[in-house]
C-alpha cells in the first residue's frame, strides 16, 4: 500500500534512532575503534584527497555497469548530486573527526539511498568496493611495509563497519516508519460507519481491535448515532480475527453506550469459534443480540424498525413501513 | 503551553461540581478532545465524591504534566480519611457496575491512562491519575 | 437551581439546564415524584442533553427517580445522553439498567405516545 512518508530532517534522525553520544561511544568501543585508529585514518588524508576523483569515478562506473544499480541513477542530476556527496564522504573518512556531525552526515547520505530505494545489498557492495580501492592505494603508499598498510586498512575497516551500522539503522528505521504509517492507514480505512437506510447504521469492523482503536470506533459510532438519529446499528465483526476479553469488553461497551443513546445494536458475523470464545469468557451473547450474518442482521433490523420487504408487481422488492401499510398483517 | 494548575478543596457537593468544571476547562485548554475531556471530568467527579463520602474533606489537585515528550493532565485526589484497608481488593475488577456499592475505583481507572493509589488505614489516601494526549 | 418542569398532556418534561449539584438532583427527584402524583401523569421525560458528566451519583439518582415515578404509576424516559457522556458512563461501568433511554426529546415523546396507545388498546380490548 502506498503511503506518503514525511521527510525527517537529518539532524532529527540521529535523535529519532537513538544515536546519542552514549550510543555512539558504545558502538566504537564494541568495534575497538580508538584514538590510534583515528590517527591512522587522519594520516591517510592526503592520500584520499589526491585520489578522490579517480576512486569515485571508478566507483560509479562499477555501479553503472550493473543494470540493477544503474537503474537508480538514471537521472543525471541525481547522479551528479550523489557523486558529489560520495566524494565528500570519501574525504570525510580520513578527516579524523568521527563525532555527532560525522554521524549526521552518514545518516543523511543513507537517507538518500533509502529514499530512492537502493537495496541494502547494493549499498553493502558499495562499501566493499571502497575497501578494495583503498587497499590497493595503501599498498602503493607503503611499499615494503605491508604491516603498516594493513594496520591502516584495519582502522579503515573498523570505521566502515561503524558506517555500515548507521546505514542499516536508517534502513530499518525508515522501514518501520512506513509500516507504522500503513497500519494507521489501514485502521482509518476500516472504520467507516455506513448509513444503510434512514436511521439504520452498519459498522463493519476489520482487523485487530486494540483499546485505542476501539475507543475511536465507539466514539465515531456514537456521534453517527446522534447525527443520523439511528435506531438500529449493525456491528459486523466478520473481519475481527481474534476476540479476547479486552475485545469482548469493547464490544459490550459499544452495545451499552449505543443503548444509552437509544439505539439497539445487532452484532453479526460472529463465527462459531468466536462465539465459543465469548461464551468461555463469560459474555452473555443475548446482550450482543448476535445474529449469524449481515443479511440476517438486516432482517432483524427490519423487524425492529417495523419494516417489511414487499415485492411489487414488476418483481422489484420494495421496503415498506409495515405500520403504515394497510396490507401489513 | 502555559496552563494554570489548580487545587480545589472538597468539602461539599458544590465543590465536586467545581472540581469537575475546573478539570474540564483545564483539559480543554490543554487540547484534549471532547470524549477525553468528559472522561477526565467524570473521573474527577468520582474521586471527589469518594473523598466526600469516606473522608468528608480533602483536595483535588489538577496539573498539566509532561513525560518523554508526551503531554497530559494529572489529577491528584488527597485526603486524611480512614484510608483503604485492602487496595488490591478495592481495585479488583469484574467489569461490574460501579453505581451501587464501593469506591468505583476500577471504573475510574478505566477512564484514565495511569492510576496509582497510596493508602493505608489511618494514613489517608492519595490517588494519582494521569491522562495523556493522544 | 430548580429544573423547569413542563406539563404536556399526561406527560411531564424536566429539562435540565445546567450542571446540577447533588442537592439539586435530589430536589428534582422529589419534585417529579410529587407532581406525578398531583397530576396523575403517565409519563416523565428527563432531558439530560446539557449534562456534560453523568457520574455514579447521577446515575444512581436517575434510577431511583425512575423507580419512584414508576411506583406512582408513570413511566420515565431519559433523553439526550451525549456520545462522550455515554462513552464515559460505560467505561465507569454505569448502565442505567432498567431505565428507558432514547436519543432526544422527539424520540422520548414518540415513545410515550406508543405507550399511551398500547394502554388505550389494552384498555379497549
| Mean model confidence pLDDT for chain A | 86
Asked if residue A197 has pLDDT above 50, the reply is yes
Residues 6+ positions from C60 with CB-CB distance below 8 Å: B99, B100
Residue B96's pLDDT is: 41
The domain C5-124 having CATH identifier 3.30.750.24: the answer here is: yes
Contacts of B13 in chain C (CB under 8 A): 21-23
| A220: nearest CA partner in chain C | C83
Going by pLDDT thresholds of 50, 70 and 90, the confidence category of residue A232 is: very high
Q: Is the CB of B35 inside 8 Å of chain A's CB atoms?
A: yes
Instruction: Reply yes or no on whether the pLDDT at C61 is more than 60.
Output: yes
A123 and A252 in a common domain: no
> Does residue A191 surpass a pLDDT of 80?
no
Size of interface A-C (CB pairs under 8 A): 48
pLDDT per position as a tens digit, A135-175: 888 888 888 888 888 898 899 999 999 999 998 998 898 88
Chains with at least 3 CB pairs less than 8 angstroms from chain B: A, C
Select from A136, A165, A187 the last residue of a domain: A187
Over 50: is that where the pLDDT of A260 sits?
Answer: yes
Could you tell me the pLDDT band of residue A33, with boundaries at 50, 70 and 90? Answer: very high
The CATH number covering residue A152 comes to 1.10.490.10
Helix A146-189 and helix A21-30, axial crossing angle in degrees, nearest 10? 130
> What pLDDT band is residue A189 in, cutting at 50, 70 and 90?
low
Backbone angles phi, psi at A319, to 5 degrees: -85, 125
pLDDT-above-90 percentage for chain B: 69
Q: What is the structure's pLDDT at A329?
A: 43
Residue ranges making up the domain that contains B55: 6-132
Residue A253 contacts C where some CB pair is shorter than 8 Å = yes
pLDDT in tens, B86-132: 888 788 765 444 444 567 888 899 999 999 999 988 889 999 999 99
Residue carrying the nine cell digits 549499498? A123
- pLDDT score of A195: 93
The answer to the question of residue A295 being in a domain is yes
Can you list the alpha helix ranges (DSSP code H) found in A3-119? 10-17, 21-30, 35-43, 45-64, 67-70, 76-92, 100-116
Last residue of a domain, one of A145, A169, A187: A187
Question: Does C51 reach chain A within 8 Å, measured CB to CB?
Answer: no
A181 found inside a domain: yes
> C89: which chain B residues are within 8 Å (Cβ-Cβ)?
42
Report yes or no: A121 at the C interface, CB cutoff 8 Å: no
B100 in contact with chain A, both atoms CB, cutoff 8 A: no
Structure confidence at residue B93 (pLDDT) = 65
> How many domains does chain B fold into?
1
More confident site: A130 or C80 = C80
Same domain assignment for residues A214 and A177: no
CATH of the domain at B108: 3.30.565.10
Q: Which residue, A163, A187, A211, sits at the end of a domain?
A: A187
**For range B61-74, the mean pLDDT:** 93
Domain holding A209, by residue range, is 194-321
Q: What average pLDDT does this structure show over A167-190?
A: 82
pLDDT at residue A73, as a whole number: 81
CA angle at A14 for the pair B133 and A6, rounded to the nearest 5°: 60
Of all residues in chain C, what percent carry a pLDDT higher than 90? 83
Grid cell in block for residue A308: 417489511
Instruction: Please report which helix (H) or strand (E) contains residue A263, including its range.
Output: none
Locate cell 480545589: which residue? B8
Any domain includes A329: no
In angstroms, the separation between the Cα of residue B42 and the nearest Cα of chain C is: 6
> Best of C26, C50, C55, C97 to disrupt the B interface by mutation (most B CBs within 10 Å)?
C55
In Å, how far from its chain's centre is CA C44? 6
CATH number for the domain harbouring residue A282: 3.30.750.24
**Which chain A residues are within 8 Å of C101, Cβ to Cβ?**
259-262
Residue B34 or residue A111, greater confidence: B34
pLDDT tens digit sequence for C64-114: 999 999 999 999 999 999 999 999 999 998 979 889 999 999 999 999 999
pLDDT tens-digit series, residues A302-312: 999 998 888 88
Task: Tell whether C88 is within 8 A of chain B (Cβ).
Answer: yes
Angle at A15 between CA B2 and CA A21, to 5 degrees: 115
* A61 part of a folded domain: yes
pLDDT (tens digit per residue) in B36-64: 999 999 999 999 999 998 899 999 999 99
- Nearest-CA distance A228 → chain B (Å): 19
The answer to whether residue A190 scores a pLDDT higher than 70 is: no
A48 lies in the same domain as A167: yes
Residues in chain C with CB shorter than 8 Å from the CB of A219 are 83-84, 87
Query: pLDDT-derived band of residue B69, with 50, 70 and 90 as boundaries?
Result: confident
Closest partner residue to C91 (CB to CB) among B24, B34, B110 is: B110
Tell me if A222 sits within 8 A of C86, measured CB to CB.
Answer: yes
Inter-chain residue contact C94 with B98, CB threshold 8 Å: yes
Residue of A79 and A255 predicted with greater confidence: A255
The answer to the question of residue B1 being in a domain is: no
| pLDDT surpasses 80 at C42 | yes
Asked if C87 and A223 come within 8 Å (Cβ–Cβ), the reply is: no
pLDDT of residue C30: 95
- Chain B positions contacting chain C at CB under 8 Å are 13-14, 16-17, 20-21, 24, 34-35, 37-39, 41-42, 45-46, 49, 95-100, 104, 106-108, 110-111
Taking CB atoms and an 8 Å limit, are B95 and A249 in contact across chains? yes
Q: Do A204 and A138 share a structural domain?
A: no
**How far B1 CA lies from chain C's nearest CA (Å)?**
25
**Predicted pLDDT at A205:** 87
- The nearest CA of chain C is from the CA of B44 a distance in Å of 10
Residues A24 and A160 both lie in one domain: yes
User: Using alpha carbons only, what angle is made at residue A157 by residues A152 and A163, rounded to the nearest 5 degrees?
Assistant: 130
Residue A205 in any domain: the answer is yes
pTM score above 0.90: no
- Buried/exposed code over A78-116 (b: 16+ C-beta within 10 A; e: otherwise): ebeebbebbbebbebbbeeebeeebbbbbbbbbbebbee
Count structural domains, chain A: 2
Cβ distance of B35 and A215 shorter than 8 Å: yes
Amino acid at each position: 500500500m502506498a503511503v506518503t512518508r514525511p521527510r525527517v530532517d537529518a539532524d532529527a534522525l540521529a535523535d529519532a534512532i537513538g544515536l546519542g553520544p552514549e550510543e555512539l561511544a558504545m558502538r566504537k568501543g564494541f568495534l575497538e575503534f580508538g584514538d590510534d585508529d583515528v590517527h591512522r585514518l587522519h594520516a591517510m588524508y592526503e592520500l584520499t584527497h589526491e585520489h578522490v576523483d579517480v576512486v569515485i569515478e571508478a566507483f560509479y562506473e562499477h555501479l553503472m555497469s550493473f543494470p540493477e544499480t544503474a537503474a537508480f541513477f538514471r537521472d543525471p542530476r541525481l547522479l551528479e548530486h550523489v557523486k558529489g556527496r560520495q566524494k565528500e564522504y570519501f574525504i570525510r573518512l580520513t578527516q579524523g573527526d568521527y563525532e555527532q556531525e560525522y554521524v549526521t552526515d552518514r545518516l543523511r547520505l543513507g537517507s538518500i539511498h533509502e529514499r530512492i530505494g537502493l537495496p541494502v545489498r547494493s549499498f553493502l557492495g558499495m562499501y566493499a568496493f571502497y575497501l578494495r580501492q583503498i587497499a590497493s592505494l595503501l599498498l602503493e603508499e607503503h611499499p615494503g611495509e605491508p604491516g603498516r598498510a594493513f594496520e591502516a586498512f584495519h582502522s579503515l575497516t573498523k570505521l566502515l563497519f561503524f558506517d555500515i551500522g548507521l546505514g542499516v539503522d536508517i534502513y530499518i528505521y525508515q522501514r518501520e516508519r512506513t509500516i507504522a504509517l500503513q497500519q494507521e492507514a489501514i485502521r482509518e480505512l476500516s472504520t467507516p460507519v455506513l448509513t444503510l437506510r434512514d436511521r439504520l447504521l452498519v459498522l463493519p469492523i476489520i482487523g485487530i481491535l486494540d483499546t485505542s482503536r476501539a475507543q475511536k470506533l465507539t466514539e465515531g459510532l456514537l456521534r453517527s448515532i446522534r447525527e443520523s438519529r439511528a435506531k438500529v446499528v449493525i456491528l459486523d465483526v466478520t473481519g475481527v480475527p481474534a476476540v479476547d476479553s479486552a475485545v469482548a469488553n469493547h464490544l459490550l461497551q459499544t452495545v451499552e453506550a449505543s443503548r444509552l443513546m437509544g439505539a439497539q445494536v445487532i452484532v453479526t458475523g460472529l463465527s462459531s469459534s468466536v462465539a465459543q470464545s465469548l461464551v468461555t469468557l463469560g459474555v452473555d451473547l443475548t446482550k450482543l443480540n448476535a445474529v449469524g450474518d449481515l443479511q440476517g442482521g438486516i432482517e432483524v433490523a427490519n423487524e425492529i424498525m417495523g419494516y417489511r420487504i414487499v415485492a411489487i408487481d414488476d418483481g422489484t422488492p420494495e421496503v415498506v413501513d409495515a405500520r403504515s401499510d394497510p396490507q401489513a398483517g | 503551553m502555559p496552563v494554570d494548575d489548580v487545587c480545589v478543596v472538597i468539602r461539599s457537593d458544590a465543590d465536586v461540581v467545581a472540581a469537575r468544571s475546573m478539570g474540564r476547562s483545564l483539559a480543554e485548554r490543554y487540547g484534549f478532545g471532547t470524549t477525553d475531556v468528559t472522561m477526565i471530568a467524570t473521573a474527577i467527579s468520582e474521586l471527589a465524591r469518594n473523598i466526600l463520602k469516606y473522608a468528608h474533606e480533602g483536595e483535588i489537585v489538577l496539573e498539566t504534566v509532561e513525560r518523554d515528550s508526551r503531554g497530559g493532565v494529572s489529577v491528584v485526589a488527597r485526603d486524611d480519611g480512614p484510608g483503604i484497608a485492602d487496595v488490591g481488593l478495592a481495585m479488583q475488577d469484574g467489569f461490574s457496575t460501579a453505581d451501587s456499592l464501593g469506591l468505583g475505583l476500577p471504573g475510574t481507572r478505566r477512564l484514565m491512562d495511569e492510576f496509582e493509589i497510596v493508602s493505608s488505614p489511618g494514613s489517608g489516601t492519595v490517588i494519582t491519575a494521569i491522562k495523556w494526549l493522544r | 437551581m430548580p429544573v423547569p418542569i413542563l406539563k404536556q398532556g399526561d406527560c411531564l418534561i424536566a429539562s435540565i439546564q445546567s450542571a446540577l449539584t447533588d442537592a439539586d438532583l435530589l430536589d428534582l427527584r422529589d419534585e417529579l415524584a410529587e407532581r406525578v402524583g398531583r397530576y396523575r401523569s403517565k409519563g416523565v421525560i428527563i432531558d439530560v442533553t446539557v449534562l456534560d458528566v453523568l457520574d455514579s451519583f447521577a446515575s444512581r439518582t436517575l434510577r431511583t427517580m425512575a423507580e419512584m415515578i414508576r411506583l406512582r404509576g408513570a413511566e420515565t424516559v431519559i433523553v439526550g445522553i451525549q456520545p462522550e457522556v455515554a462513552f464515559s458512563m460505560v467505561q465507569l461501568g454505569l448502565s442505567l439498567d432498567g431505565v428507558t433511554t432514547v436519543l432526544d426529546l422527539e424520540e422520548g415523546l414518540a415513545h410515550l405516545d406508543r405507550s399511551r396507545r398500547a394502554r388505550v388498546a389494552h384498555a379497549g380490548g
